[in-house]
């Protein structure tokens, strides 16, 4: 099934798409798509029995009350090469602050002082139940669903200023997530999903999750050895080649640019870049 959240930012309601792609209201059944609810999505009523949502509401991030928003860097060998970096022996982990999380059609906000605003299409994994010290063989049993993410990055903040990557990854609206949270049974093998990203109608990224260095099951198991994963935690699993930083010459985003991206079965996003005021 394909779950989503709709409404004004901070006041989103849970919803689900029926077999015809019509948005249905879940707020009579659950308070939000968050926490322990994510471990029992298959137990919710059939979408066709729920009220239809009318109008054209804003679509928010597909998961609410996210605890940890974790990201894996350089997880595609060809992306590591374009970045001029060696393939890591273990996953590179960084995080986005929750203030970065936004809906799939909300604008990308270019922060003051930004000169190297970049894009990254990524597969996001949403944890459905508590996971600690899980094996790779059992790791996928802890997945609530999968979603599309854009790991928006400010490369000057990230690389040219001292400190951790997080300062170039966590600006406001640097974490569009959704439109849908798609359950594992509908997605199938997460290591066979095509992915793409366009800027102003020009294809920049084309890839497939099959070329990840560290696959989804490995990442869940690996992270669960370091700390407990809780329902609603999100893992962004890296990006294929084609980011602006890796081009010759490099290409970056500015106000008015439009970014569109998608992953097989997980829907599409569209964002326009605006200046922060």
Q: Tell me, what's the pLDDT at 25?
A: 98
Tell me the pairing of strands 108-110 and 267-275.
Answer: parallel
- Take residue 4 and report the two structure tokens written for it: 């989503």
Residue 4 belongs to a domain: no
Lowest-confidence region among 83-87, 105-109, 206-210, 253-257: 83-87
Query: Does 18 map to a domain?
Result: no
* 13 inside domain: no
The CA distance from 196 to 121, in Å, is 7
Kindly tell me if the per-residue pLDDT of 163 is higher than 90. no
Tokens 């930004």 locate to 114
Rounded CA separation 225/220 (Å) = 9
- pLDDT of 36 > 80? The answer is yes
Average predicted confidence (pLDDT) for the chain:
96
Span 209-217, average pLDDT: 96
Model confidence, pTM = 0.96
* pLDDT the model gives residue 210: 94
Residue 51, in any domain of the structure: no
Instruction: Kindly state whether residue 85 falls inside one of the protein's structural domains.
Output: yes
Q: How many of the other CB atoms lie within 10 Å of CB of 31?
A: 13
83 or 1: which leads in pLDDT? 1
Average pLDDT for residues 129-137, to the nearest whole number?
98
Among 33-47, 69-83, 150-164, 261-275, the range scoring the smallest mean pLDDT is: 69-83
User: What does the pLDDT average to over 153-166?
Assistant: 91
pLDDT higher than threshold 90 for residue 149? yes
DSSP state of 47: G
Percent of the chain with pLDDT over 70: 100
Decide if pLDDT at 82 tops 80: no
Banded model confidence at residue 80, pLDDT cuts 50, 70, 90: confident
With pLDDT > 90 as the criterion, what percentage of the chain qualifies? 92
Residue 220 confidence (pLDDT) above 90: yes
> Across residues 71-82, what is the average pLDDT?
85
Residue 275 near residue 108 (C-beta atoms within 8 A):
no
257 domain-assigned: yes
Q: Is residue 54 part of a domain?
A: no
Is 261 contained in some domain? yes
Average pLDDT, stretch 9-17?
Answer: 97
Domain that holds residue 107: 63-275
pLDDT band of residue 78 (cuts 50, 70, 90) is confident
pLDDT at position 77 is 82
For residue 119, the domain's CATH number is: 3.90.850.10
| One-character DSSP codes across 150-219 | E--EEHIIIIISSS-GGGGT-STT-EEB-S-EE-HHHH--GGG-EEEEEETTEEEEEEEGGGBSS-HHHH
Q: In the chain, how many domains are there?
A: 1
Does 235 have pLDDT greater than 80? yes
Q: Is 202 exposed, middle or buried (0-12, 13-18, 19+ CB in 10 A)?
A: exposed
């Amino acid at each position: 099934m394909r779950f989503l959240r709709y409404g004004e930012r901070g006041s989103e309601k849970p919803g689900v798409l029926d077999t015809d792609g019509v948005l249905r209201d879940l707020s009579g059944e659950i308070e939000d798509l968050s926490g322990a609810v994510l471990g029992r999505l298959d137990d919710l009523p059939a979408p066709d029995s729920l009220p239809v949502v009318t109008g054209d509401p804003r679509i928010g991030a597909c998961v609410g009350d996210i605890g940890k928003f974790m990201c894996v860097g350089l997880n595609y060998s060809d992306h590591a090469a374009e970045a001029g970096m060696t393939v890591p022996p273990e996953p590179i982990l960084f995080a986005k602050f929750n203030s970065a999380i936004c809906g799939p059609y909300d604008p990308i906000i270019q922060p003051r002082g930004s000169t190297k605003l970049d894009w990254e299409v990524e597969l996001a994994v949403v944890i459905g139940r508590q996971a600690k010290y899980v094996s790779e063989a059992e790791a996928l049993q802890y997945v609530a669903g999968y979603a599309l993410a854009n790991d928006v990055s400010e490369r000057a903040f990230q690389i040219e200023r001292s400190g951790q990557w997080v300062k170039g990854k966590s600006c406001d609206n640097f974490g569009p997530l959704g439109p849908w949270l798609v359950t594992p049974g509908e997605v199938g093998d997460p290591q066979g999903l095509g992915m793409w990203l366009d800027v102003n109608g020009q294809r920049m990224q084309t890839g497939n999750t099959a070329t990840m260095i560290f696959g989804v099951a490995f990442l869940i198991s690996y992270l669960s050895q370091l700390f407990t994963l809780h329902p609603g935690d999100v893992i962004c699993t890296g990006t294929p080649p084609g980011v602006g930083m890796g081009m010759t010459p490099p290409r970056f985003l500015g106000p008015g640019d439009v970014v569109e991206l998608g992953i097989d079965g997980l829907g599409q996003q569209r964002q326009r870049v605006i200046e922060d005021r």
